[in-house]
Each structure stands twice: as C-alpha cells, then as structure tokens.
Structure 1
C-alpha cells in the first residue's frame, strides 16, 4: 500500500528567530521535487506526514487510475499523474493522493452509513467512480472523486462478505460476492447479471476484468479473472460468466 506514498516525504524547516527566542520548530516542508533520495516511502514517513495520527494496519486492496478531471490537453507533462487508492483495513480507512505531493484519508471521522468495516478490495475508474468491498458490512460502497476528495455516493447491498471488486472501462462493476459463491455484475448501480459457473464457484476472493476496448489491450480480448477455492484456483471467464480456462 505504500506505493502511493512515494512522493510523500518531509524535512524540518529551519526558521529565522531572534536571540533569546525559544527554538521550537513545528513546521514541515516538502523538499524540492526530484532533489531527494527517498524513492519509496514507508510507514514511518506516513506517521511523520500525518503527525502520527494514521498508521498502517492490515493493508489490502490497491487501485490506480488517471482521472479525467486531472487532464489538461495543453500539457503533456501531466499524463503520468495517477490517483492511487489504498485500503488500510485495520483502521477502516482509504488513503489516496490528491496530487503528486499530498495525500488524504477517508474514514478518519466518518460514522453511521458512511463508516467502513473491514474493507478489502477496491476499484477505480478514470471518470472518478471508486468502489470498495466493505466486507464487514456485507456491502459494496460507491464513492466519487471529482478530483481532490473522495465522496460517499451510496451502498450496494444484498451481499455476503464480498471480498473484491473490479470495474471495466465501460463502467461495468464486477463483485466477488464471497459468501454467496457468485459474481454479481452491476451497471449504473443496478444488478444486470449474476453467475456462479454452474455451481462450481467456491468463495471467490479476487477478481479482475479487461475489455476489448482497453487502449493497452493488444489482442482486444474481453474476460474476467476470478480467484476462488480458498485462493487456490485461478479461472478465466467471459464477461457473461462462461468458463474459458482454469487452473488450480
């Protein structure tokens, strides 16, 4: 989960003070970009940056996307700027970056319907949609990030301890509904399909999807990858749920 903290590192600011004044520095500043040797941030850097208010505990899913709202067609320099989300499950929290040098948190002060419980998988779309498998609450939570802030949208319910989610380029959501031994498929927050490989799917815990329209796809294939059987089996399905290949 510390991948998205790579740009986060701080150094003490040396202040100007008069003779007799107490030296009591309290400010941290960013070093010049690319002028620092830290290439991979750690939990220590996270605690430093957040004044020890956030710690890493049971990190789970990670998702990354290039937000459309960050796109400036006049600047090619920003094309590699990603938004990365990490699930800090032990604290029911999502950590994400709002720029190349700033991070934010969802879950510090949320309560009621907006509070997560044992979240696991996470998926993000370039339009700003973010989905989290909120395992302990038996639901999937839909968030939206307009660019700088993760906002609660709604809950998708009727699941049993879902462990993972994936979203395709056409905004179709695939949910590993672990306790119900099935894959649930949603569009526009509405259930459009549900499949369990003719009853052979067993406690799916991981899922990924690719679309033929994905710009990086050389073969233009569309398929869904599912991990099940206590993380001992990997299977390939069509988007409609037809088994294409499997290995255990």
Structure 2
C-alpha cells in the first residue's frame, strides 16, 4: 500500500469528523491499543443478533458463542490497526466501531473466512464446512465488483451498541470512509450478512451489486453493496492512510 503525502485540507478533514445530530458532535477516532478489548466487546454486542452468526451457533451455549464473537472481533480490530491506524475506528469512546480497508480482497479476517476459522475452535463443525465451501463464491462475487469499479475501499464490519443505536453513530462512522472516498474518487464496497442492515446502507447511497445465500436460505444472505463516489467539485486528491501501529503494542 502506498501512502501519499497528506495535503493541508485533508489534514483538517481527517483530524476529526463531526456530524450534526441534535446539535451534538460525534467524534471519530482510531482505536488505540488500550481500547481494542472495549472495541471487541462493542462489536460482540452489535453482532449478537446477526442472522448468519445466530445460524452458526444455534446449537452451542450462549457463553461459548459470546467468547467466539469477542475473540473474532479482537483479532479483526488488532489486524486492521496493524495495517493502518485509520482502518479500525471508534465513535464516542467505542460506542460504535468500524473496520475498513483499501485491500480489495477484503478487510483483515474477511467476514465469512474469519468466522469459519474461529468456528472450528468451538465446535461449529457443520457451519464451518458450509462457510468454507461458500467462501470461493464470495471471493468470485467480490472480484466481479472490483473488476467493474477498479478503485474500491472495503468496509468489513460496522457496529453500534444496541442501546446507542439510532443516535447517528453508525452514520458518522460510515461518513468517515465516504468522505475519503469522494475526495479520492473511490467506490466503497460493503459486505452485508444481515438483511436488516440493508436500509441503513441504502440511506447512504449504497446499492446491491451481488448476492448469494448460505444453504440457499433467504434469511442467510451474503450481499455486496457498493456506493460510487459523489462529485465534490474539488480536485482529485490521493488517498491518505496513516501507518499502522507496532505489533508489540497489542495487549492480549
């Protein structure tokens, strides 16, 4: 990944993102080393009702399923922040979390592949086999989208604590990436694994590009949605992302 020099106006744009929601400012910040566990806890709660994850874990006890989700998201956030401090961000003290990437193959630990690898550790044998078989189809869908749009940013995960939803946190997190995409003329790709999240992305200009279903079940979708850049009237600027933190900083 090449890192371009950051123009002065981009420094001002990315230092702090604010969204006007009931006259309040929503601060978006990178997830620092001491907040990785808190970020993982937030994502665990946000994804606890995800349709695919519920299907995978319907035969295991709640404690083991909770441990699986926490471990999954702790690894995802850690890997993302090692690539760039900008790739794992939080809203208002980890009330909301987002992981994204410039990698067209997906975020660190892509959704289904990351789930499949960890699922085997807690006995999701049948689910593991299904997800592994499905992954090539997911990869093929993603490649079709990338070939069509060429320049893409990828949103892997975005979640807000249940009690903090509908307060603009998810929109603020998403806008953090969308503003960058518009300035640098990038399409944004999101991998959706829950039907209930589709209206949220549609409200921000995303459209369904590709879809498939696990076990041919309409309630278990894997959907790729894209949002093309909006013309800002500003000159094209190179995408800037900060370097990642050092691995030694990670707290297990």
Question: TM tier, shorter chain?
Answer: under 0.3
Point out the structure with max Rg over C-alpha: 1
Q: Kindly indicate which of the two structures has a greater share of residues assigned to helix.
A: 2
Q: Kindly indicate which of the two structures has a greater share of residues assigned to strand.
A: 1
